[in-house]
Structure 1
Amino acid sequence: MAQRFGGRFSPDMRRQDGNLNPVPVAPIRHRLAGRPKYVTLAAVPLLFGAFFQDPTGMAGNLAAFGMIAGAMWMTGQGLAAEAAYEVRRVARRPAIPRKLFGGVLAGLGLGVGVAEPGSLMGAGAVGVTGLVLHWLAFGSDPMRDKGMAGTDGFQQDRAQKMIDEAETHLAQMRDAIRRAGDRWLDARVDRFAATVEELFDRVRSNPGDLSAARRYMGVYLVGARDATVKFADLYRQTRDPATRTSYETFLDDLEQDFSAKSQRLLEGDRTDLDIEISVLRDRLAREGVRSDEPGRLDAPRTETARFLDGLLTPGRDKAR
C-alpha cells in the first residue's frame, strides 16, 4: 500500500500535544542485501534463451535459472541471518549455513547453464568458479557462537526458546498496527520493540535472568499484542483521537516498565561482576599474591597471577 511522504516539517506530522514523531527504528539490514537480486537479473538471459532451444536445452536453461534464483534467495536469507548475528552481543551461529548452500547451488546452476554433451569438465570448472566468486562477493556464514563462553547450554536453550516465542509476539504486534494505516503508530511500535529487544539481549547474555524476565517476555508481551490487535481494528474504523491517546499512553507506560527491567538486570550483572572480582581478590590475598598491608603489592609468582593482579588493580602502575 502506498504511503504519503512526510518529514519533520510536513503537515499533519505533529501530534496534538505538539511533540514530533518518534525517530523510526531502522530495520536490521545487511550492507550486501541488495546484491543477490542483481545476480538473479544477470541470469535472466538463461530464462529467455530457453525458448529458442530444443527441449533438452530448454530444460537445462530453465533448471539453471531456477537454481541461480533459488541460490540468491537462500543467500539473501543468509545475509539477513548474519545481520541479526552481528548486531547482537550474544548470538548463536545460524543453524543452517545458508550462504554456503546458496554458493553451492549457484555453482551448480552455472554449471548446468553451460553444460553441453562431452563438456562436463568445462561445466565443472565454471561451477567451481561460480562458487568461489559467490564466496568473494558475499563472504561466509558465521561459524561460531558469539558471547556464550562459560554459559550453561541448557539454560541458554531455554532462554532462546522463550525469546523466539516473544519475538513472534512482537512480529504479530507489528503486523496488527500496520492495519491501522498510520505511519506514526508504526514508528511508535518499532520504538517499543527496540526497547523489548534490549531485554532480550540481557537475557541472552545471562540466561540466569530468564526467571526474572519471564513475566515480561510472556504475559506482558502477550497482553501488549492483544491490546494492539484490538486497537488497530477499532482505530481503523473510528479514527477516534481519544482511543489513540489511550493506546499511546499504554505503550509509554509499558516501554518504561521494560526499560526499567532491563536496567535492573544490568545492575544485577554489575553486582555479580563486583562479587566475582572481590572473591578473586580475596583468593589472591590468601595465596600470598597480594599483601594484606594496604598500598603494597607483593610481586606475583606466576605470569597468570601477574596478569590477574594487573587486571584487578588498574591503578597499580600509577601508584608506583
Structure 2
Amino acid sequence: MAQRYGGRYSPDPRPDDPETRDAAKRLSTAPTRYRIDPAGARVNFLYLPAAVLAFVSLGGGPERLALGLVGAALWALAAWLTREGLRAEAAYHDRKVARRPALPRKLLASLLTGAGTAIAAGVTGTDLLGAALYGVIGMALHVTAFGIDPLSDKGVAGVDQFQQDRVARAVEEAERHLEEMRRTVARLGDRHLEGRVARFETAAQDLFRTVENDPRDLTSARRFLSVYLMGARDATTKYAEIAERGPNDSARRDYLALLDDLEENFAARTRKLLQNDRADLNVEIEVLRDRLRREGLRTGYSEE
C-alpha cells in the first residue's frame, strides 16, 4: 500500500516525525507577530471602476475613448497610491519613533480620484460644471473612506529630534532588510521556512521597539540593525537561489541554523538593553530618594 511521504521539509509534514515535533515545539513556544495587509480587499474594488470606464469608452469615438482611458488610468493610479498609503500609515503607527511619509500617498490618491471622476462624468456627457462637482464629491468620498496621511513626525518625549531622526532612519533601513527577506522566502512557497523567518522577524522587531523606546540604545544596537540584518538578507537570497535549483538539505540546515543563531543573538541583545534600562531607572530612583531625604521628606518606602 502506498504511503504518503511527509518529513520535516515536506509541505505537509507527518506529526509523528521526531524532527517535525521538535520544529513544531520550537514554533509554538515563541510568539510570532503575524502581518495583516492593512489595505485589505476593499482597495481591490477601487480598480473595478477603472476597468468599467475603460470598457464603456470603447464605442464612443476616439475622443471619448482617449478621455475614458485617461480617467481609468487616473483611477487605477489612485487605487495603487491608496494601497501604498495605507501600508505606510500602518508602518507609521506600529513604531514609537517614526517620520511622516515623505509622499502623502492618500492625499494624492484623493486628488486623482476626483480628477478621474470628473473625466468619467465628462465621458458620459455631463457639462463642465457638473463634472467638476462630481470630481469634488469623489475626492471628498475618498478622504472620508480612507482618511489622510500622517502629517507630523512622532517620537519619544524628552529625546531631542536629532536622536529620534537617527533611530527612525536606522529602523526604516532595518525594516527594508526584513521585507526583502520576507519576499524572498515567500517566493519559495515553503510554509515552514516562512514561519521560521517570521519568528526571527519577531525577535528583530522586539529589538527595534526597544531602541525606539530609548534612542540612547542605538549605538550598541546599530550593528544588529545594519550589518547583521544585511548579512541575513544576503544569506536568504543565496539560499533561495540554491533552493530554486532543487532540494538541498545541507543548505537548508545551514540556513535554519543561521536563523537560530541570529534569533538568539537578537533576543539576547534586547534583554541586555532592557536590563540596562532597568539599571538606569534604579539609579535615578535612588538619586531621587536621596534628594527627598535631604529635603526632610518621606519617600514612602521603608529603608533596609
Sort the TM-score into its range (normalised by shorter chain): 0.7 to 0.9
Percent of aligned pairs with the same amino acid? 42
Q: Does 1:148 align with 2:152?
A: no
Cα deviation, residue 80, structure 1: 0.7
Aligned to 1:303: none
State the AA in 2 paired with 1:12: P
User: Mean alpha-carbon deviation: is it higher for 128-137 or for 233-242?
Assistant: 233-242
Aligned to 2:216: 208
> Does structure 1 conserve the Cα–Cα contact (< 8 Å) formed by 2:98 and 2:168?
no
Q: Offset at 1:202?
A: 1.9
Contact in 2 for aligned 1:179/1:236 (Cα 8 Å): no
Question: Structure 1 residues 59 and 259 mapped into 2: Cα distance closer, same or farther (>3 Å)?
Answer: same
Partner of 1:19: 22
Matches within 5 A, 1:301-316: none
Match of 1:88 in 2: 95
Q: Is 2:72 the partner of 1:72?
A: no
Provide closer, same or farther for how the CA distance between residues 48 and 141 of structure 1 changes in structure 2, counting only shifts above 3 A.
Answer: same
Equivalent in the alignment of 2:261:
253
**Richer in helix (by share):** 2
Could you tell me which amino acid in structure 2 is paired with residue 19 of structure 1?
D
Deviation at 1:104, TM superposition (A): 1.2
Q: In the alignment, which residue of structure 1 is the partner of 2:178? A: 170
The answer to which of 241-250 and 207-216 deviates more is 241-250
The answer to whether the 8 A contact 1:159-1:207 is kept is yes
Q: How many equivalent pairs are there?
A: 283
1:217 matched to 2:225: yes
Residues 250 and 75 of structure 1: CA distance in aligned 2, closer, same or farther (over 3 Å): same
| Shift of residue 72, structure 1, vs aligned partner | 1.1
**Pair 1:273–1:163, CA change in 2 (3 A):** same
Query: What SS does the aligned partner of 1:140 have?
Result: coil
2:58 alignment partner, SS class = helix
Secondary structure at 2:22's aligned position in 1?
Answer: coil
Aligned to 1:55: 62
Q: State the alpha-carbon separation in 2 of the partners of residues 182 and 205 from structure 1.
A: 34
Gaps of 5+ in 1: 1-9, 296-312, 314-320
Code of the residue aligned with 2:259 in structure 1: it is L
**CA 1:265 to 1:130, structure 2 compared with 1: closer, same or farther past 3 Å?**
same
User: Is 1:163–1:200's contact at 8 Å kept on the other side of the alignment?
Assistant: yes
Q: What are the Cα deviations for residues 216-240 of structure 1, in whole angstroms up to 9, with x where unaligned?
A: 1233223323333333344454634
Q: 68-77 vs 55-64, which deviates more?
A: 55-64
TM-superposition CA deviations, 1:202-226 (whole Å, max 9, x none):
2223222111002212332233233
The verdict on how the C-alpha distance between 1:235 and 1:127 changes in structure 2, with shifts beyond 3 A counting, is closer
User: Structure 1 residues 275, 140: closer, same or farther in 2, change over 3 A?
Assistant: farther
Counterpart CA distance in 1 for 2:36 and 2:104 is 19
- Residues 95, 212 of structure 2: 8 Å contact kept: no
- The residue type equivalent to 1:130 in the other structure is G
Indicate how the Cα distance of structure 1 residues 139 and 293 shifts in structure 2: closer, same or farther if over 3 A, else same: closer
CA separation in 2, counterparts of 1:76 and 1:113? 22
How far off its partner does 1:279 sit? Answer: 4.6
Q: Which amino acid aligns with 2:13?
A: D
Give the superposition deviation at 1:85. 1.9
SS in 2 for 1:68: helix
Q: Give the equivalent residue in structure 2 for 1:6.
A: none
Structure 1 residue 173, shift from structure 2 partner:
3.0
Equivalent of 1:139 in 139, 147, 157? 147
CA distance in 1, matches of 2:164, 2:88: 19
CA contact (8 A) 1:202 1:266 kept: yes
Specify the code of the residue in structure 2 equivalent to 1:72.
Answer: A
Alpha-carbon separation, structure 2, partners of 1:225 and 1:16: 30
Flag structure 2 segments of 5+ consecutive residues without an equivalent. 1-10
Aligned-partner residue type, residue 172 of structure 1: E
How large is the Cα RMSD of the aligned pairs?
2.9
How has the CA–CA distance of structure 1 residues 283 and 102 changed in structure 2, closer, same or farther, with 3 Å as cutoff?
A: farther
Q: Distance in 1 between matches of 2:133 and 2:286?
A: 61
Q: Deviations over 1:8-30 (max 9, x none)?
A: xx942556522354366422421
Identify the residue that residue 42 of structure 1 maps to in structure 2: 49
- Aligned to 2:278, which of 263, 270, 282? 270
After TM superposition, give the deviation of residue 200 of structure 1 in Å: 1.7
1:283 CA displacement: 5.5
Q: Who is 1:292 aligned against?
A: 297
